[in-house]
Structure formats: structure tokens, C-alpha cells
Amino acid sequence: TMAASETGGAGGVGAVLRDMRLALGDLFAGGRLDPRDAVMVQVLFGLLGQLARADGIVTSHEAEFVNALMDELELPLKARSEAMAYFEKGQRRQIELATELQRFAEAYPRGTEQGARLYDALLRLAAADGRVRPREREMLQEVTIRLGFDPAVLDDRLKRMGPAA
């Protein structure tokens, strides 16, 4: 299970990246994205960008996490460039959280593994620099509810990941 790999250290991040690769990796076979895959890349990296910038700065830990995620997912060149474009849009707050999560829900209904992986990636990014700041937590609280998770899940998951929340 996921809980067994949640060490909070580099091994934990590596395990999460591998898990995400298993969940998402087959989406990108053939070097091009179909429309549903494109939604996953756009929403995932757009929200990662927004979350990374939520506290005002993108830390080196956060940037390394996003780069490692792209590597682990083995995104084809076009998808990688789209991922970076959306990450930057997220950082510049040029996306709307509710709209992006609605697009995601239309492609991947509540309860799908993709939703759990998206949520996990956001939690991991928030914890990447060792602490979850108030604005990051606010965004994660909204994501938790919009993805259909119980609000108590957020605190529980963050505690197990070990950041100073």
C-alpha cells in the first residue's frame, strides 16, 4: 500500500514517483497525448505550479520534485513542454483551481486512481521542502474537498508524511 512507502524522505518521494509512473505512465505511450491524457498533464502540472507558488516562492525542493516527476513519468517532449507551460501558468496564477478540478473530474470521475494520484502528487509537493505553509494548506483543503476526500484525510496524510505542518 501507499502507507508503507510514506517515509517522508528521499525514498518516500522516489516511491511516490514510481507509483505515479505506474498509474500514469501508460498514458503517454506513443509520444503523443490524447485529449484525456492532456487534461491529466495540464491539471497536474498547473496545480503543482499554483501550489509551489502558493507561499510566494518556489523552493529548490519543489522544483526538483516537479523535474523528477516529469523524468519519472517519461513524458514525451511535447507533453513535457505542455507540462512546463502549465506549471508556469499555475505559478503565475493564470489558472482557476475550481475550473481545473472540474476539467479533471470530467475526464476522471471521483474515486478513480488518477484522482488519488493527483492528490498524492500535490501533498508530496507541499511536503517537499519540509513544511506546509498556511497558503499551501488552504489550497490543499480546497483540493481535498473538490476531489471528494474527507477533510480529515488531509491532516492525517500530512502527519504521516512528516512535514512541520
Q: Which residues pair with 131 in a beta bridge?
A: 164
- Mean pLDDT computed over 116-131: 88
Helix (H, G, I), strand (E, B) or coil at 76: coil
Give the pLDDT score at 59: 86
In the predicted model, is pLDDT for residue 77 greater than 70? Answer: yes
- Per DSSP, helices labelled H in the chain are 2-5, 10-24, 35-53, 60-73, 77-91, 97-107, 113-127, 134-146, 151-161
Instruction: Locate 128 and state its grid cell.
Output: 517537499
User: What is the residue-wise DSSP string for 39-66?
Assistant: HHHHHHHHHHHHHHHTTSS--HHHHHHH
In the predicted model, is pLDDT for residue 74 greater than 50? Answer: yes
pLDDT in tens, 93-120: 999 999 999 999 999 988 888 898 899 8
- pTM of this structure: 0.81
Q: How far is CA 88 from CA 26, 92, 154, in A?
A: 25, 6, 25
pLDDT in tens, 83-96: 999 999 999 999 99
Give the pLDDT score at 84: 95
Give the pLDDT score at 5: 33
Give the pLDDT score at 6: 35
- Mean pLDDT computed over 124-136: 87
User: By percentage, how much of the chain surpasses pLDDT 90?
Assistant: 42
Q: How far is CA 27 from CA 55, 60, 73, 150, in A?
A: 31, 28, 9, 28
Answer with the residue of higher pLDDT: 31 or 69.
Answer: 69
Give the pLDDT score at 7: 35
Question: Around 40, how many Cα atoms within 13 Å sit in the side-chain half-sphere?
Answer: 29
pLDDT band at 9 (very low <50, low <70, confident <90, very high): very low
